[in-house]
Amino acid sequence: MTVQSGLEGIVVAESDLSLVDGSQGYLIYRGCWAKELALHQTFEETVFLLWYGRLPTAGELKEFRSQLAKERRLPASVVEIISRIPRQTDMMSVLRTAISSLELKGASWPPTVDQGLSILAKIPTIIAYRHHLLKGTPVPEYRFDLSHGENYLYMLSGKVPVAAHTRSLDSYLILTAEHGMNASTFAARVVTSTQSDLLSALTAAIGALKGPLHGGAPAEVENMLESIGTSDQAESWLRERLDQGEKLMGFGHRIYKTRDPRAEALQIVARDLAPEEPWFQLAVEVEQTALRLLHQRKPDKSLHTNVEFYAAAVLRAVGLPKELYTPTFALSRAAGWCAHILEQAAANRIIRPQSRYTGFIPEL
């Protein structure tokens, strides 16, 4: 029995949700290039695509947006729970606890699109409520007339965002909505395979995304760029970290052996959003310098820019604080999690791999 550490290279399911081709740098959602979706479609359209297998008509999109807006309100019991969580608790733990405390109509097996829609709609409200609670500021009432991403930015700032910020956030949400059998998605499918409910599967997924090896990198990229400060400091700073054997955040990926297509799209988004912004110029300089140094130091490894690098630039540009980067990742990835939960349930078999025993065997 061969053990594949980390299940690397092991195919555990057939799926028509996405193609992640690491050698070619492809990312496809339901037959559509993710990059094209990010540059030309809305987040709601992409969620509809993932859940229904096609892009919506104008009428379907209007109805879908309306349904999302109607589900944004949190039950008073959940608001109370969020209020009682200790202040020092990180936002992902708050989100996990809040999601697990929700109730869904007909939450028994099998999961439904309506259940997923109800949870997806509430995640921005949970994040915004906790954010304002910690700041001691009033929580803006959600707006029925705003899109999913637009309402999220509005609830965080109290101001309707400019169109460029909404478009840029939508691009980020689309590009991080789905990515094959990653750790959090696999966790959701494992729980679903036991015929547990959708809330339990999403709670498991959030727990996995909370881990720094999965969901925490954009904030670390921003920390790196802040520490570097200016372009003329980039090379010496990066060389020092590499000399100390440290990893450079925003570079390298388990799957991609070429440039992450999501990074390519987000660079375009960041450039269009703030082409003259010193922060963007710094990011470009750091990327170029880091890639050159990585190629010199590790010519045998395919280390390229990943999605987290330019995600940091985009999220900062639209006004999100660093502590909300990973929760915002969860906000988007919930769309993909729900798609996988529905797919797993449709042709379910309990996921039950094996382990190889290496311990002592007593005498008979």
pLDDT digit string (tens) for 335-344? 999 999 999 9
Q: Which of 44, 45, 220, 308 is catalytic?
A: 308
CA 59 → CA 32, 63, 66, 115, distances in Å? 21, 6, 11, 21
Global pTM?
0.94
Tokens found for residue 39: 């540059």
Instruction: Enumerate residues 6+ apart whose C-beta is below 8 A from 230.
Output: 282
Tell me whether residue 308 is one of the annotated catalytic residues: yes
Catalytic residue among 253, 285, 287, 304: 253
Q: Which domains does the chain have, with CATH numbers?
A: 18-213+320-347 (1.10.580.10), 217-318 (1.10.230.10)
Condensed to tens digits (0 to 9), the pLDDT of residues 32-63 reads 999 999 999 999 999 999 999 999 999 999 99
| CA distance to 190, 234, 249, 263, 281, per residue, from 284 (Å) | 39, 11, 14, 12, 5
Decide if 323 is catalytic. no
Q: Residues 303-361: pLDDT tens digits? A: 888 898 999 999 999 999 999 999 999 999 999 999 999 999 999 999 999 999 999 99
